[in-house]
Structure 1
């Protein structure tokens, strides 16, 4: 093989490797926050940035995003079908890691001066959840550490939360309890590994 061809092949292999490393696939061990951050050091750096900016502990947005999208960058509500045959749109405009709706994301972009943000970018998504939890505390008094009630406000909106709309949705209260349990589990895991975590992996 000519030298130039070998060089091109090598460059292609390196580029493919880098793209694979930067892929948006969900973490391999989503039930363990330490394993998530060890695998995805850029996620950990983004989580720390969110915490510094909004004051929300990292385990709360991570538990919320797990519930909302399973850490899938392109998650969206399922398509609705008429008579099981004709698609007629999705239940909402929710999209991405945080399942933020288009209108709420626009509010975030404007208020956070993050106009170039994208819902399928993890750093932007976790910053969005930090912004939302910060506003939830200011509008409802719910602590940023209270994953259960933060999730209820996240799902119902601030007005819905204040009116207690979730009390008519037993299924939602069950989901909020699951988010709370995961948040506490994530917090316990994080407390055991945070001193050993690094944001300076081989690439990042």
Structure 2
């Protein structure tokens, strides 16, 4: 009798579902450290900057604010009788904390099937949202603070200036804008070192 187990079963037995979830970067405040640790993210960011013409410092800053680079993050749970878990406050999920309806709009607009647990897909979503924000509100793609306000409030909310009644949100948005500027400055210091030096750099 064969004792060979399916590969999926071996993987699950070896690490468990939680352990197999990609870990966030060790130093999320340092873009150079992020890209040195996660080379796949670096290449995805380069490709998408070329595709969308959006500096990746802005979507990366938004992603950091939304999920802390956690791939399977949910919003807070709701409860029945204060102790029985029953769903979540919103459908926001994954790296971009995108709600299901907006995520489906993105998939339809780009004729794609994507995952909010994929870094590349999530970065693509945020870039799509940023460029759509520019079309609808004329906010420059380089303006991390106002782009975040539109990302958080939605395009309609941004046009209504709903953020004016939320001083806490203005504080967070300024933080996102400042981080985008810091990320951009950091990248100028490591851009040359991060460049590919042969085939193996795509793997590590």
Distance (Å, rounded) in 2 between the aligned partners of 1:23 and 1:195: 31
1:145 to 116, 138, 142: 142
Decide whether the 8 Å contact of 2:150 with 2:157 is kept in 1: yes
TM-score if structure 1 supplies the norm length? 0.85
Partner-residue secondary structure (3-state), 1:104: helix
For residue 173 of structure 2, what is the aligned residue in structure 1?
Answer: 176
Aligned residues: 186
Distance (Å, rounded) in 1 between the aligned partners of 2:56 and 2:50: 10
Distance (Å, rounded) in 1 between the aligned partners of 2:82 and 2:201: 48
Structure 1 segment 1-204 matched on structure 2, within 5 A: 24-115=22-113, 117-198=114-195, 201=201, 203=203
For residue 17 of structure 2, what is the aligned residue in structure 1?
Answer: none
For residue 3 of structure 2, what is the aligned residue in structure 1?
Answer: none
Q: Which structure 2 segments of 5+ residues have no match? A: 1-9, 15-19
Decide whether the 8 Å contact of 2:95 with 2:117 is kept in 1: yes
> What is the aligned-residue RMSD (CA, Å)?
2.1
Distance (Å, rounded) in 2 between the aligned partners of 1:202 and 1:55: 22
How big is the shift at 1:104? 0.7
Partner-residue secondary structure (3-state), 1:201: helix
Q: Structure 1: which 4+ aligned runs deviate by more than 3 Å?
A: none
Distance (Å, rounded) in 1 between the aligned partners of 2:195 and 2:27: 18
Decide whether the 8 Å contact of 1:73 with 1:96 is kept in 2: yes
Distance (Å, rounded) in 2 between the aligned partners of 1:202 and 1:125: 20
Distance (Å, rounded) in 2 between the aligned partners of 1:112 and 1:195: 32
Decide whether the 8 Å contact of 1:41 with 1:198 is kept in 2: no
Partner-residue secondary structure (3-state), 2:44: helix
Distance (Å, rounded) in 2 between the aligned partners of 1:202 and 1:176: 34
